Chain A
Amino acid sequence: MTAEATNMRSSLYKTDARTKRRNAAEARFRVYGMMAVGFGVLALVVLLSTVLGSGFSAFRQTFVTLNVPLDAQVLDKQGNRNPAEMAKVTTIGYGNLLQAALVAELTEKGMHPEGMKAKDIGGLISKEAPAQLRNMVLANPDLIGQTVTFDAYANGRIDGYFKGRVTMESAALDSNVSPEQLQLADAMRANDMMAMKFNWGFIFGPDASELRPEAAGLGVAILGSAYMMLIVLVLSLPLGVAASIYLEEFAPKNRFTDLIEVNISNLAAVPSIVFGILGLAVFINFAGLPQSSPIVGGLVLTLMTLPTIIIATRAALKAVPPSIKDAALGIGASKMQTVFHHVLPLAMPGILTGTIIGLAQALGETAPLLLIGMVAFVRDYPAAPPEGFMDPAAALPVQVYNFTQRADPAFIERASGAIIVLMVFLLVMNLMAIILRRRFERRW
């Protein structure tokens, strides 16, 4: 070996320039990657913390606890407990009862502010409370004549005061609430006549008018969304899986099936509002299904979800090793047996993932629902399925949209609260998917 050759031989201990460059490039790439992940995580944290931060308060609400004497003279003049007669007493009658009860209790405790009008004292109680009391009495006429302890919603401004949304200064400028009322509210709270409690009404109650944010709930929207998810699941999973199996395993490969394939992929990319227009034209105008109903929403969302499920299912079917199919066919299983005994079980985890992604998309979808009238203000719960599928209902994402459209700032926390409920829905669905996937995933 010549001296020159020895010199040219490089040492492993010394990194050469080329390797250094490559290592530097790799290090840079890692930094970019970490930056991208960090950015994503940061965005998520900010998003979640804002939503959670402003939404949690929606689940707690200020209540006025009152002992209300349900005077038979007022509520049932005939004394025969005839529901038709009793229904003639309007919410105004009940409102007067509540107001009187509150004034009486304040007077008894020596808290009655001097010179404050009864009407202003009654103004501390939500305008929704009389209706709730009335419903309670009509549902259970035996209560008449008794004194019941009733948790009435406090007026939204009072609730806002305890949540820091309303201040003495803003109240002075506000025609809906006065600083005196806020002072009284402080006093009542100190006396345990008013308290913040968990507000089940927000989750289970119906929506309320723009002027009564304290009473607005998500019950109808949750039910509507649940109905729609049920429809989407029941329709799109079997349809999507059947279509995918047919396309993947049985259909001949020709121009026509190619065309179908391309169109399914295109369909997945169609903006969701287009499905809304389609739903309006076909399901409502042509088929005559009722507007704003879960059935129409469910059908529209099914159309939207189908391509997602089909694409995911086909990918899952494709991923099953052909050797397993050969094995089954080779011992004389029919094509259908091969698919149902071997291919489908192996593809199941992938199908479930696709289905859940599709359902999650459908759950959060707002635009098409606006077009089919689900944006309407609905206070009545839809009936139990299947008739309930035809009843007007709201949907969670549209409810979020509705809340944000309203003037009263009290609806901001409710919009965030609705988003939290929506996310809990998603979380539950994802959990179910994970559990199901675990069950289907082979241990080998």
Chain B
Amino acid sequence: MNDMSLTERAVDSNEIKIAATGVQVFYGTTHAIKDVSVDILDKTVTAFIGPSGCGKSTFLRCLNRMNDTIDICRVEGDILLDGEDIYDKKVDPVQLRAKVGMVFQKPNPFPKSIYDNVAYGPKIHGLTRSKSELDEVVEASLRKAALWNEVKDRLDAPGTGLSGGQQQRLCIARAVATSPEVLLMDEPCSALDPIATAQVEELIDELRENFSVVIVTHSMQQAARVSQRTAFFHLGNLVEYGETAQIFTNPKDPRTESYITGRIG
């Protein structure tokens, strides 16, 4: 962890990409998210930290309505993407998810070729008109995911045959290929070794140029390394949200401080 760099990490943008207000999430009778309001900025890496089971994943999955796939899950409150309510009846979650991409905890490439993995999103959304255009998108996405040089000679090889870190970067390339505006990442490095983790972190920093990135992590070091803003969740509550440097050096809430110093785990 490089604390020195924390202060240099200025937030470049002040444009609000996602505005969540008064979000409540219930799994049946379990109240998983309690009245959370967060503004997520464009072209910024926002980290969600907090002890296990505090609702980080749940909240993240609200942002692209992946919670819709869980029958017992109920979401209340407003979440606006560029001022539009994503839970509005008129919104098709399928369209939303093309705009708000997601990378999961465990690398989950399709059991198809590397090429097909990346090409799948553009294909189903009709983003390209020709094979050559699709080829370009695939190459560009793989380059953005810093994977192109490693796989350019074996695009037909199965995506599941790559190493864990490569698989996760492939998943990032796959998410990037639909040119989303927001990229949600749920503990993207927890299944990776330190070297692969470093590669993915570097990548996240680069992705910030084009996307608003929200990353869930249980590693405070990681939050400190990659994010500009950090939200600390505890027992379903958003305890504190602010600039990463401030959260880590000068937390306002005693719970944040105890977590950061390792007293809540």
Residues of A within 8 A of B (CB): 252-253, 321, 323-334, 337, 341-342, 346, 442-444
Contact = CB atoms under 8 A, between A and B. Distances in A.
**A-B pairs with lowest CB-CB distance, top 5:** A444-B158, A332-B98, A332-B97, A323-B108, A330-B102
Interface in B104-146: 104, 106, 108-111, 120-121, 124-125
Interface of B: 64, 66, 69, 71, 94-98, 101-104, 106, 108-111, 120-121, 124-125, 158, 160-161, 171, 174-175, 177-178
Nearest to A443: B158
Contacts of B102: 326, 330-331
A444 B161 contact: yes
Contact of B106 (A253, A323, A331, A332): A323
Contacts of A334: 94
A442 B108 contact: no
B175 A330 contact: yes
Contacts of A332: 94-98, 121, 124-125, 178
29 contacts: A323-B108, A326-B102, A327-B104, A327-B109, A327-B110, A327-B174, A328-B120, A329-B69, A330-B97, A330-B103, A330-B175, A331-B97, A331-B98, A331-B177, A332-B94, A332-B96, A332-B125, A332-B178, A333-B94, A333-B120, A334-B94, A341-B120, A341-B124, A342-B110, A346-B111, A442-B111, A443-B158, A444-B158, A444-B160
Nearest to A254: B71
Contacts of B94: 332-334
Query: Which of B66, B94, B177 has the largest count of A CB atoms less than 10 A from its CB?
Result: B94
| Chain A interface helix/strand/loop/mixed | helix
Contacts of A337: 124
A128 to B, nearest CB: 59
A330 B66 contact: yes
B81 to A, nearest CB: 14
Given A323-B106, A327-B108, A337-B124, A252 B71 contact: yes
A331 B66 contact: no
Given A323-B108, A346-B111, A442-B111, A330 B101 contact: yes
Contact of A328 (B64, B106, B110, B160): B110
A334 B124 CA distance: 9
B108 A324 contact: yes
A333 to B, nearest CB: 6
Contacts of A333: 94, 120, 124
A325 B97 CA distance: 14
Contacts of A330: 64, 66, 97, 101-104, 175
Contacts of B69: 325-326, 329
